[in-house]
Amino acid sequence: MQTAARAMSITATPAVSLDGVGKVFRSADGEKKVHALDGIDLTIAEQEFLCLLGGSGCGKSTLLRMIAGFETPTTGQVAVRGEPVRGPGPDRGVVFQDYGLFPWLTVAENIGFGPRRRGLPGADVDAAVQRFLSLVGLERFATTFPAQLSGGMQQRVAIARVLANDPAVLLMDEPFGALDSLTRETMQHELQQICDELRTTVVFVTHSVEEAVYLADRVVVMGGGPSVGTPGHVELVLPVALEHPRDITSPEFNELKRELLAVIHGTSTAALR
Ligand SMILES: Nc1ncnc2c1ncn2[C@@H]1O[C@H](COP(=O)(O)OP(=O)(O)O)[C@@H](O)[C@H]1O
Ligand SMILES: [Mg+2]
């Protein structure tokens, strides 16, 4: 009974909630204000894969950085599992486009870094390293240094390193943006499988409509941005109910792509219903 009640309260608390979130940056001299985001209300459920999709400058990275705790909202509240975000923390793992690995550590040492820092016993650190090495298919590269790996392999290490901390939320800012298109497709497929297996909650920033439709349970289309004269905001939230792995050539897939593109290019009001 007690366990059931606890399980219910856990599922009832969203992984991430954004409540009236806005962000105004000030220029270095404090004179000019940059209204980056306004009125963002979003609830992200446990185990959900959410994509933030939009063109350059609409505030995707700023939103992700506020969830990560690297930026503070000017208005509103950001909470992770019901706790207000006050700064970065191990409950949120962040993966950027440029991998950010420690070049002086081997692949295994990079992955074991977080668990070791959290004070886990050596045997547990080793077990975590083995588990996540194998999850990203890099068992043979445990003693290799990052510089000797391809971009796709380095990004696999970065993902394994973050997942080894068992974060509540995985935050990814255009993580495959620097990869060639074939590697990128492989990585999208692998990430989807890993998140499915681990049941990880993910917030994934992309400007690729296809990437969003391939990965997301829900796509949040963002628009606006200081360069177009309105603060960044949510234009549309579109659920994607297709089975995984998704067939990017199917009519259903392409219909969703068309709908999102219409919103992004501002050609459809029907899609905004
Ligand atoms: N530290 C900052 N200081 C001033 N303006 C910023 C800062 N960070 C982002 N911005 C501005 O906020 C807007 C949104 O940026 P960003 O979140 O990086 O957009 P996106 O990731 O969607 O391309 C842009 O106009 C950008 O120039
Ligand atoms: Mg960005």
How is the chain split into domains, by residue range? 45-73+86-91+168-273, 101-166
What is the per-residue pLDDT for 27?
81
Residue 90 dihedral angles phi and psi, to the nearest 5°: -70, -10
Q: Is 223 in the pocket of ligand 1 (CB under 6 A)?
A: no
Residue minimizing CA distance to atom 16 of ligand 1: 59
Ligand 2 (ion): residues with CB under 5 Å are 61
Looking at the DSSP assignment, which residues form a beta bridge with residue 237?
Answer: 220
- Classified as helix, coil or strand, 87 is coil
| Any atom of ligand 1 within 6 Å of the Cβ of 59 | yes
DSSP secondary structure letter of residue 247: -
For ligand 1, the distance from its centroid to the CA atom of residue 97, given in whole angstroms, is 16
Q: Ligand 1, from 27, 53, 61, 222: best to mutate by most atoms within 8 Å of Cβ?
A: 61
Query: HSE-up of 205 (CA within 13 Å, CB side)?
Result: 24
| pLDDT < 70 regions, the chain | 1-11, 267-273
The CATH architecture of the domain made up of 45-73+86-91+168-273 is 3-Layer(aba) Sandwich (3.40)
Strand partners, 209: none
Q: With CA atoms as reference, report the closest residue to 181 among 189, 172, 173.
A: 189
Of residues 115, 145, 146, 147, the one with CA closest to residue 132: 115
Answer whether 25 contacts ligand 1 (Cβ < 6 A). yes
Name the pTM for this structure. Answer: 0.93
Helix axes 107-117, 122-135, angle to 10 degrees: 130
